[in-house]
A and B are shown apart, each in its own frame.
Chain A
């Protein structure tokens, strides 16, 4: 049964059609990668699913609820979390507070102004667990804005996964990292998405083929292929559209 399904989703900016009828089913527990050339609309698609943009047409269903045109916080509360391509953290809060903030709603605190955070034992323990997972337990009191780039990316992931959402969307999680940093990031992604549904936009094909169970290829706002990694690799359409030429000895 699919946990997230897009049906004929379109998005126009003024006259320009960015997403032109995308239909996509994401199964529960699968690791799904979306690839495509620059400007294909991958980030736009993420923004549509997560509620940053409203769709122009079509519908998006998450756990059988229609979520197109819902607000980001409503979608997030349903259990869909995401990270951003450009680091998007709470710069003046420290690392610990960043992660704890993203745990608040799912722990049921809502807009409470009668709970003292320091006293919420379970919440703080959970926060520490997440910090350990992303390897930032030593930096917990550092203001997020002062972290090194790779650490900020780890925190970006931490904020996305902390709430325990069952579907996690990662937008180019290793962008701008060195090779070794990217390797440990991939390991981190494996670890934190275990047993969860993952949707990921990524340019690095090694990582895509390493992580994904299924790959969708987005070109000019349309999904031209959606299949298992080995079939995508062999798909001549994809090679033409994406790689620019047919690779014969795939």
Chain B
């Protein structure tokens, strides 16, 4: 890509972020956007570890949480005039703490990648989460600690009473963090992180200590996770033990994986999808975590490179103008798949509901008799049957689209 094309992408990203509240300006929407902003930075920092550096972590929330806790403490100190600076710098406090924690923990955890790293990260995560419940004066026990962001010196007259103001501040930080994390992938350290991920042994024979390369990546990931934690502190003005425990670590793994590891844009997609599911779906169904689990397992099984990987699969076909030949096959399989998902969700919800009358998609179902169960089950099975029947044609269409691309490429080269 040329420089101009690349900067266009970045400018669109920034404008898109800034324009969002123009289209959705409800209180709920702004709060969702704030969550999204936090989730994006956090997921991107996780991808630095796993996607770029090949380190599977089950304790990444530690850096997010510690950054967040210190950020809230900083807010409290501003409130009591122990410190005095504008709260726009709070995310940097979080980042600095995340970096410090990573600098220390990385000295012994980055010795090896693979299972050993994963286990150390799990151990450290559990250790810190459990300690946070013991050291009540710092972590505030189960209730957590809270602060107030409106006490610092105003920033050009802004006193941060509105969530919208925080959103624009978050956008600034998200944009800067994304930009720097992207630049990191283009530096010697970032590229060597990929090399060490692929083949740590060979990296040592071209002059690089695999351990040192991992350490640098690990610290950078800790720094950006801390920034996300600082943003969290600014947005919610409180933080609890939940924000550094295994559940939060697991959720960031989920969002990065679903979005697509190894693609820079993957975790952004994952963070957006997960935040939307979290905040929209949870209004309609208390089973949304179940759906998330199912979606995650299906992604691991059938889309090992995530949503981003799925999109990138089509790059070649697109480049050779063969994408049109796929539209119809996709529709033939896609429509029954859609019906299958809708009907399955209906079936799950219907069997879960306590009420006799159950509304779903504008239809009224009766959960007390078997007849509606049977009807929906038939829909599920019929859709499944259609999917199975249509899969071969989709596979054939996919292969033919790709085969032709190969020939085209050979022609182009000769």
Q: Which residues of A approach B to under 8 Å, CB–CB? A: 50-52, 71-73, 76-77, 81-82, 84, 88-93, 97-98, 100-102, 104-106, 109-118, 138, 159, 163
Contact = CB atoms under 8 A, between A and B. Distances in A.
11 contacts: A73-B208, A73-B209, A89-B199, A92-B262, A101-B203, A111-B213, A113-B184, A113-B189, A113-B190, A113-B220, A163-B206
6 closest A-B pairs by CB: A105-B207, A72-B204, A102-B206, A113-B189, A109-B188, A90-B198
Contacts of A101: 191-192, 195, 203, 206
Interface string B187-217: 1111110110111011111111100110010
B198 A73 contact: no
A116 B205 CA distance: 23
A104 B188 contact: yes
B189 A112 contact: yes
Contacts of B186: 116-118
B104 interface: no
Among A81, A102, A113, A159: residue with most chain B CB under 10 A: A113
Interface in B213-234: 213, 216, 220
B198 A104 contact: no
A114 B180 CA distance: 10
Contacts of B187: 112-117
B210 to A, nearest CB: 8
B198 A163 contact: no
A51 B210 CA distance: 14
A67 B311 CA distance: 49
B202 A90 contact: yes
Nearest to B204: A72
B322 to A, nearest CB: 20
A93 B206 contact: no
B183 interface: yes
B413 interface: yes
Contacts of A76: 204-207
Contact of A81 (B183, B184, B205, B262): B205
B208 A90 contact: no
Tell me the dominant secondary structure on chain B's binding face. helix
Contacts of A112: 187-189
B95 to A, nearest CB: 15
B196 to A, nearest CB: 9
A110 B216 CA distance: 12
Interface of B: 183-184, 186-192, 194-195, 197-199, 201-209, 212-213, 216, 220, 262, 413
Contact of B192 (A82, A88, A104, A118): A104
A113 B207 contact: no
A22 B189 CA distance: 38
Given A104-B188, A113-B220, A115-B188, A92 B204 contact: no
B198 A111 contact: no
Contacts of A73: 203-209
B191 A100 contact: yes
B205 A50 contact: yes
B198 A93 contact: yes
Nearest to A116: B186
Given A113-B184, A116-B183, A72 B189 contact: no
A91 B198 contact: yes
A84 to B, nearest CB: 8
B221 to A, nearest CB: 12
Contacts of B205: 50, 72-73, 76, 81-82
Given A105-B207, A111-B216, A159-B202, A93 B192 contact: no
Given A76-B205, A97-B191, A101-B203, 14 more contacts: A73-B203, A77-B207, A88-B202, A90-B199, A91-B199, A92-B262, A93-B195, A97-B194, A102-B207, A104-B208, A111-B192, A111-B208, A111-B216, A113-B190
Given A113-B187, A114-B187, A90 B195 contact: yes
Contacts of B189: 111-113
Nearest to B189: A113
A72 B208 CA distance: 9
Nearest to B217: A113
Among A72, A109, A112: residue with most chain B CB under 10 A: A72
Contacts of B194: 90, 92-93, 97
A227 B351 CA distance: 84
A105 B199 contact: no
A113 B201 CA distance: 22
Contacts of B198: 90-93
B207 A104 contact: yes
Among B188, B192, B203, B213: residue with most chain A CB under 10 A: B188
B207 A163 contact: yes
A153 to B, nearest CB: 14
